Structures are given as C-alpha cells and as structure tokens.
Amino acid sequence: MNLLETPIEFLKGVGPQRGDLLRKELSIHKYGDLLNLFPNRYIDRTRYYKINELQNSNSEVQIVGKIINIKTVEQGKGKSRLVATFIDETGQMELVWFQGQKWIRESIKINVPYVIFGKVSQFGATYNMAHPEMELLEEHKASLRSAMQPVYPSTEKLANKGISNKVINKMMQQLFVETQALFSENLPNYLLEELKLVPKNAALFNIHFPKSQDLLAKAQFRLKFEELFFIQLQLITKNLIRKHKIKGMPFEKVGENFNNFYKNHLPFDLTNAQKRVLKEIRNDLGSNAQMNRLLQGDVGSGKTIVALMCMLLAKDNGFQSCLMAPTEILANQHFNGITELAKELNLNIKLLTGSTKTSERKVIHEALENGSLDILIGTHALLEDKVQFDNLGLAIIDEQHRFGVEQRSKLWKKNAIPPHVLVMTATPIPRTLAMSLYGDLDISVIDELPPGRKPIQTVHRYDSNRLKVWKFLKDEIARDRQVYIVYPLIQESEKMDYKDLMDGYESISRDFPLPHYSISIVHGKMKPADKDEEMRRFSEGKTNIMVATTVIEVGVNVPNASVMVIESAERFGLSQLHQLRGRVGRGAEQSYCILMTSHKLSNDSKIRMETMVRTNDGFEISEVDLKLRGPGDIMGKQQSGVLNLQIADLVKDKDILQLARHHAIKLLKEDAPIEKPEHAKLREAFIELSKKKTIWNYIS
C-alpha cells in the first residue's frame, strides 16, 4: 500500500483526537494530505542576534544564550507572571510567561545553552520577550530545522487545542522521517530537463524545510507547474474525448438561408473579428464532433448576428435551433432583434417565456414537434419537459454564468444526438480563468467593435459635483438624448436600497420636473408586466430618464440613450460597472458614463474607478478585477470552490499556467492516450487524480 494513503492518526504524535481535529479543520485525512499542506509564508531564521543588537522593531528574532535565574512576580488580584533572566556574552534581557507557569518552571534548565525565538519589546532600558519559543541548542542543531521557518495555514480551533505552528512543523518532520522522504516522481524526465525543474523529492523537502530563498523558489516553481500541468491535462483530455466520443451532427452545407442573408440582408459589413469567429464555428459544425464553444465578446460587439448566422446554418442542414437567455427582458430583446434581422427570410421564429399564454404555448409545442418551427428563443421555460423538438441541431446559451450545469444538461437531452452548443457571454473572462475554468471548451473572441461606434467617454465625479452633472444631463436631453440613472442593488439591504432609489427618484423628479421631462422607474419590487411597460416607454422615447436598479444590467437596447449615470459606483464590482456602461454607446452618437461616488473611497474602489475611466477594454478590466477579487468571487456562487488550488495562484502565476498549458497540449498531441513508456508514471498520477472530486466536476 502507498504510505501516503495511511490515515493521519497513525502518524507518531497525532493520534485519534488530533486526527479528528485535523480532518475537520484542515481536511487532512491521510499522510498525503498533510504533505500537501503547504506553508503560507516563511520566517527567516538564518540569523542569530546578540542582545546588544536588539531594537524595538516588533520583529521576530532568535538569540542564543542561557537562563541564569527564574522567579515568580506577583501582579496583585491573585495574578502573577514568571520572569527569567536570559544572558549572552553581550548583555542580558528578560523572558516573561503569563500562562503555563508551573509547567515552564519545571521544564526549564538553568545555565544550559538555549535558542529562543519571538517578538522583542522594550521596557525602560531592558528588552523582554513574552512566551518565547525555546529549544535546547543541542537539539536545535540536530533537528530537521530549516533556516526559513514555515508558517502553516491554521484555524482558531486548532490553536486553542494546542495544535500550534510548531506542532504542525513537528508532524511534518515526523512525516518525512516515516516516509524516508521518498516520493515518486510523476513528471517525465525530458520535461524536468527541458524546464530545469527540481525532482519531486527535492521540491517537497524544500517547500517544508527550505535551506535558502533560492531552494524555496525552485521548489515552489516545480510544484506550481505540476499542479497547473495536471489541471490542463485533464481539461484538454476531456475536450479531446468529447470530440472523439460525442458524435455531432455535421452541418455539411452552407445553403440558401445563410447565403441569401450574407449577400443581401446584412445590415452592416461584418468586422474581421466576426468573420474569424464565424469561420471557427463553421469548422466545428462541419466536423463530425459536437461543437462546444464559448463565444466571448464585449457588450455591443455583435454576438447576436453571429448567433443568427449559426442558426441559419442549422436551418440549411434541416435542423432546429434554440437560444436561451437568463431573463425575460433579454429573451424578448433577442427575439425582437433576430426577427428584425431575419424579416426578409422565410423563417418560423417563436418566443417562449414564463409570460407566454397557454394557447400560444400549445401552438409552439406542436410546431416544435412537427418540425415546422425553425428557431425558438426563450428563458428557462425552454427546459420544461413539455418542450420537445423534432430535431434540435444547435443550442445557444446567452450569459451562461447565470445557468447551472444541470440546467444545461437538460437541453442536451432534448435530442438523441446532443446538439451543437454555443455559449455566449458579454462578461469578458480573464485569459487565465478561461484557460482553467473553460479549458475544455473551445474559445472564440470578438475583440473589435462594429465600425462607426465611438468609444464611451467615462468620468468619475464626486457627489459634490452633482449640480454640474445635472446640467450636463439637461443639455443632453435638450439634444433629444435619453439618460439612465442606476442605483446599486444589494440583496441583503433591500429596504435601504429601495429607500435610496425612491429618495433618488424624488430628488430627480424635483430637478427634472414635468412637463419638460418625463421619468421611468424600474426596480425589483415591480410586477414583471409593469417593468416591461416602463422599459417599453423608455425604449420608444416617451420618457427621457430611466431611474433603475441593476435590473437593467443585461439586455435593454436603446440606441438613443447616450448617458449612463451610476450612483454610489463604489458599491459595484468592476464587471458590473462595465456591463452597465455597455447599455449606452449603441448608436452612432458620442455616449458618456458618469461614475458618482462619495469622497470616502477605499483603495480598491479607487483602482476600480481609475480602471473604468482609463479603458473600455472588457478583457483588461476583467484582469484587474481578477487581481482585486480573486478567482472564487469572479465566478459567482455556483462556481465557487472551483479552483481549490493547493499552491498555485491564478493571478500571480499566470505565466506558469500558460507554460503548463503549452506543455500539456504538446504532450497530448504526441501521445493522446498517455501510453508511451516515458509517460508511465505520469499516467499513474493522472488516473489517481481523476478519481478525486476536485475541479473537474465543476467544469461546463
């Protein structure tokens, strides 16, 4: 049996009680889990200080010396402290204990050399150290002690139960003694040589007991590379398997509908990015494998037209398509947009949402099943069991981060052969996250805006500038433009938000009075029908100002709206600010986004405002967002826990991630089944990892 599979309580010095705590608090079940508990940081213990070099700097130091006497000092109210005089050849200081005095008094040896370690503070002319770590000099020299002292992740409960950093360190030493530090190498030799990686044994030893900064850096690089390399192997293998195993329905021809639309009905020339993406999609659809592609494109980059052209390819090959959006507003907008684009073509397109009447549903269900319905656009309503297709060839999912995995798999089951899948998002995903979270999807990016679109001008204004901002809005409205004013919506404090919104609405109504101005209002407490009515009035130009909470983040398309004012902008995340800004700038006119904040801003808020003012590039914004928030937050609740990485960090280690992905692709090109003799150990480790429930289960 592999020693690393041994339950943790069998390690000398652990036992059942500690074992139980380690399991509950740090998920350490076996030897191998402890081995992979990597330190958070290191304390440099390469240096020994002399007492006459001490300074009141609150830093941790270690000193070699002897205790010459020890006494108990009463402090009144029945309390006392234990004080020892500690000397070296340059001077003397005091060591102090407030707890555990009896045990310490009994165990301390007088006039024997010790190494003490801890924080020093100064009282009058003397220095003292409270509760120092102590070790006999003789033992200190003999122990498996590294100059860089590791500090391990811990919890309050462990500390309270006496499992201190020192105890975990001791357990780690014991682990290396029992396993004789023999850990099997899992990377092929040629890779170790090419990348100058230290062997697995050396890496694990130096991550826990580094003798120098240099050895530590080499160990970290090796272990980070390995972790990311195995993740990439998993993802890319998954992608390859899907392409081999899941047979798609090849769309063999580009027919009448596609050609007619492309030649005669395109409202504007496609950008080069749109052409490139269409070509990538057409290659997928034409192959024998099922397409599984993620289409990323900033707000307004023209994803809808790409989606329609894919649906026309499906129709030309005798298949039906569906497009699923997360909200009714967005589904309606897709329906209106696509119907408008395809009005010259002879297509049967229908909309199915929660509001669709029963009589209309019956018509839709029948047309779907007899094959006369070509394109169905809708919300979660598409997933209902009653919705059965005649032959679904293409499923498009918009803003996929709002749909869970189970919901998507329901779409798959609507057909005997799984349909091709195109996932669209206007939330740019940082490259590092895309490589790790969607590494099993092929990714296409539309990275240019249609011609004639002017970049939105973004400014940051404080509440004290409000009069000037209102004057600017009046000028824009005088030029027949429309304005959004958005208030934050934070679920936990809905009452407060509602009050903010209503207060805002009232003051705006005073500053923009009837009959010169008319205002729409939209918020989460309204009935869907009322919301839609207000949205409709605004999009038809019957109102000048739309006061809303973030319900308008996704979807509404009002080309005449030229200003977006975001109130309390410091309460929004970057990707949300970017999404909201994308509601304007849809016409040919210059558009503006005004970020209103209070003067009190945290450092992160300042960075967010500066980033928004500096750039319109969603990908650059998403990279900053990743640095500020970390990967877990960005992917939202249903995706959190996605990357429980043990040592690598997606933000700091993106170069290592790219290197790992490059080598994983290269290896699988040469040996897809991982069967060559030089990959034997790698294959073994790969199979072991695949059994564990880690990242793989979360992935699309």
**432 vs 98, more confident:** 98
pLDDT of residue 300 exceeding 80, the answer is no
Q: Residue 417 — very low, low, confident or very high, per pLDDT cuts 50/70/90?
A: confident
In angstroms and rounded to an integer, the radius of gyration of the C-alpha atoms of the chain is: 32
- Whichever domain contains 61, its CATH number is 2.40.50.140
pLDDT of residue 639 exceeding 50, the answer is no
Residue with tokens 């839609």: 532
Q: CB atoms < 10 A from the CB of 507, how many?
A: 12
Residues 381 and 525 reside in one and the same domain: no
For residue 92, the model assigns a pLDDT of 94
224 within a domain of the structure (yes/no): no
What single string gives the DSSP state of each residue in 423-442? EEESS---HHHHHHHSTTSE
Residues 337 and 269 reside in one and the same domain: yes
Please give the structure tokens belonging to residue 202. 């050396």
Q: What is the arithmetic mean of pLDDT over 161-184? A: 91
Please give the structure tokens belonging to residue 630. 């970390």
The letter for the amino acid at 595 is L
Backbone phi, psi, residue 372, to 5°:
-85, -15
For residue 699, the model assigns a pLDDT of 39
Q: What is the arithmetic mean of pLDDT over 457-480? A: 95
Cβ atoms of residues 642 and 635 within 8 Å: yes
Residues 421 and 522 reside in one and the same domain: no
Q: CB atoms < 10 A from the CB of 449, how many?
A: 19
**Distance of alpha carbon 360 from alpha carbon 378, whole angstroms:** 13
For residue 144, the model assigns a pLDDT of 63
**Distance of alpha carbon 346 from alpha carbon 355, whole angstroms:** 26
pLDDT of residue 58 exceeding 80, the answer is no
Q: What is the arithmetic mean of pLDDT over 75-88? A: 91
CA angle 119, 124, 130 (to 5 degrees): 25
pLDDT of residue 554 exceeding 70, the answer is no
**Distance of alpha carbon 485 from alpha carbon 580, whole angstroms:** 10
pLDDT of residue 579 exceeding 50, the answer is yes
pLDDT of residue 63 exceeding 90, the answer is yes
Q: What is the arithmetic mean of pLDDT over 70-94? A: 93
pLDDT of residue 698 exceeding 50, the answer is no
Q: CB atoms < 10 A from the CB of 14, how many?
A: 23
**Distance of alpha carbon 661 from alpha carbon 436, whole angstroms:** 9
674 within a domain of the structure (yes/no): no
**Distance of alpha carbon 241 from alpha carbon 235, whole angstroms:** 10
Q: With pLDDT > 90 as the criterion, what percentage of the chain qualifies?
A: 54
227 within a domain of the structure (yes/no): no
Q: Residue 635 — very low, low, confident or very high, per pLDDT cuts 50/70/90?
A: very low
**6 vs 41, more confident:** 6
pLDDT of residue 279 exceeding 70, the answer is yes
The letter for the amino acid at 435 is M
Residues 394 and 543 reside in one and the same domain: no
Residues 558 and 467 reside in one and the same domain: yes
Domain count, the chain: 3
pLDDT of residue 466 exceeding 90, the answer is yes
Region of poorest pLDDT, from 455-459, 487-491, 518-522, 592-596:
487-491
Region of poorest pLDDT, from 375-389, 420-434, 572-586:
420-434
Q: CB atoms < 10 A from the CB of 406, how many?
A: 8
Q: CB atoms < 10 A from the CB of 42, how many?
A: 16
Number of residues assigned to the chain? 700
For residue 88, the model assigns a pLDDT of 96
Stated as kind and residue range, the H or E segment containing 18 is helix 15-26
Cβ atoms of residues 293 and 446 within 8 Å: no
Region of poorest pLDDT, from 303-312, 334-343, 408-417:
408-417
Please give the structure tokens belonging to residue 481. 């433009």
Q: With pLDDT > 70 as the criterion, what percentage of the chain qualifies?
A: 92
Q: What is the arithmetic mean of pLDDT over 104-112? A: 94
Cβ atoms of residues 562 and 584 within 8 Å: yes
Residues 534 and 415 reside in one and the same domain: no
Helix axes 272-286 and 303-316, enclosed angle (nearest 10): 30
Q: What is the arithmetic mean of pLDDT over 186-191? A: 95
For residue 387, the model assigns a pLDDT of 93
Please give the structure tokens belonging to residue 230. 């195995």
Q: Residue 628 — very low, low, confident or very high, per pLDDT cuts 50/70/90?
A: confident
Paired residues of 423 in beta bridges = 294, 397
Per DSSP, the three-state class of 418 is coil
For residue 570, the model assigns a pLDDT of 93
For residue 575, the model assigns a pLDDT of 83
Q: Residue 700 — very low, low, confident or very high, per pLDDT cuts 50/70/90?
A: very low
For residue 613, the model assigns a pLDDT of 97
The per-residue b/e assignment along 157-178, b for 16 or more CB within 10 angstroms, e otherwise, is ebeeeebebebbbebbbbbbee
Q: Residue 414 — very low, low, confident or very high, per pLDDT cuts 50/70/90?
A: confident
Residues 410 and 480 reside in one and the same domain: no
For residue 525, the model assigns a pLDDT of 79
Region of poorest pLDDT, from 412-416, 565-569, 611-615:
412-416
Q: What is the mean pLDDT of the chain?
A: 87
514 within a domain of the structure (yes/no): yes
For residue 495, the model assigns a pLDDT of 67
For residue 203, the model assigns a pLDDT of 96
Q: CB atoms < 10 A from the CB of 196, how many?
A: 9
Per DSSP, the three-state class of 94 is strand
Highest mean pLDDT among 129-133, 439-443, 585-589: 129-133
Q: Residue 636 — very low, low, confident or very high, per pLDDT cuts 50/70/90?
A: very low
Residues 508 and 600 reside in one and the same domain: yes
Q: What is the arithmetic mean of pLDDT over 3-23? A: 94
Residues 392 and 538 reside in one and the same domain: no
Stated as kind and residue range, the H or E segment containing 276 is helix 272-286
Q: What is the arithmetic mean of pLDDT over 359-366? A: 95
For residue 494, the model assigns a pLDDT of 65
Per DSSP, the three-state class of 535 is helix
Cβ atoms of residues 301 and 449 within 8 Å: yes
Cβ atoms of residues 59 and 119 within 8 Å: yes
Q: What is the arithmetic mean of pLDDT over 689-696? A: 61
CA angle 24, 30, 36 (to 5 degrees): 90
Region of poorest pLDDT, from 321-335, 441-455, 484-498, 591-605:
484-498
For residue 268, the model assigns a pLDDT of 84
Q: What is the arithmetic mean of pLDDT over 229-257? A: 85
For residue 552, the model assigns a pLDDT of 64
Cβ atoms of residues 118 and 97 within 8 Å: no
Cβ atoms of residues 70 and 83 within 8 Å: yes
Q: Residue 282 — very low, low, confident or very high, per pLDDT cuts 50/70/90?
A: very high
**Distance of alpha carbon 38 from alpha carbon 604, whole angstroms:** 28
Stated as kind and residue range, the H or E segment containing 303 is helix 303-316
The letter for the amino acid at 174 is Q
Q: Residue 508 — very low, low, confident or very high, per pLDDT cuts 50/70/90?
A: very high
* Residues 480-504: tens digit of each pLDDT: 999 999 998 755 566 666 678 888 8
Residues 463 and 416 reside in one and the same domain: no
**588 vs 424, more confident:** 424
Strands (E), 479-550: 482-486, 519-522, 545-548
Residues 420 and 474 reside in one and the same domain: no
**306 vs 532, more confident:** 306
Please give the structure tokens belonging to residue 256. 């009448």
548 within a domain of the structure (yes/no): yes
**295 vs 141, more confident:** 295
pLDDT of residue 695 exceeding 50, the answer is no
The domain of 473 spans: 457-615
Q: Which of 663, 671, 647 is nearest to 191 (CA)?
A: 663
For residue 531, the model assigns a pLDDT of 83
Residues 470 and 592 reside in one and the same domain: yes
**Distance of alpha carbon 31 from alpha carbon 276, whole angstroms:** 51
pLDDT of residue 73 exceeding 60, the answer is yes
Residue 643, classified by CB atoms within 10 Å of its CB into exposed (0-12), middle (13-18) or buried (19+), is buried
Q: Which of 381, 382, 363, 383 is nearest to 373 (CA)?
A: 363
405 within a domain of the structure (yes/no): yes
- Whichever domain contains 380, its CATH number is 3.40.50.300
pLDDT of residue 544 exceeding 50, the answer is yes
Computed from CA positions of residues 188, 193, 197, 200, in that sequence, does the dihedral angle turn out positive or negative?
A: positive
**327 vs 661, more confident:** 661
pLDDT of residue 94 exceeding 80, the answer is yes
Paired residues of 144 in beta bridges = none
326 within a domain of the structure (yes/no): yes
**Of 98, 129, 144, which residue is a domain's last?**
144
For residue 352, the model assigns a pLDDT of 96
Q: Residue 459 — very low, low, confident or very high, per pLDDT cuts 50/70/90?
A: very high
**Distance of alpha carbon 23 from alpha carbon 27, whole angstroms:** 4
345 within a domain of the structure (yes/no): yes
Q: What is the arithmetic mean of pLDDT over 401-418? A: 72
For residue 637, the model assigns a pLDDT of 38
Cβ atoms of residues 663 and 233 within 8 Å: no
Strand 148-151 relative to strand 392-398: parallel, antiparallel, unpaired?
unpaired
**Of 112, 144, 176, which residue is a domain's last?**
144
**Distance of alpha carbon 87 from alpha carbon 66, whole angstroms:** 6
Please give the structure tokens belonging to residue 434. 């895309």
Q: Which residues make Cβ contacts (< 8 Å) with residue 288, sequence separation at least 6?
A: 247, 248, 250
Q: What is the arithmetic mean of pLDDT over 68-91? A: 92
Q: Which residues make Cβ contacts (< 8 Å) with residue 631, sequence separation at least 6?
A: 433, 436, 642, 643, 650, 651
Strand 114-123 relative to strand 126-130: parallel, antiparallel, unpaired?
antiparallel
Backbone phi, psi, residue 156, to 5°:
-60, -40
Q: Which of 395, 72, 119, 370 is nearest to 248 (CA)?
A: 395
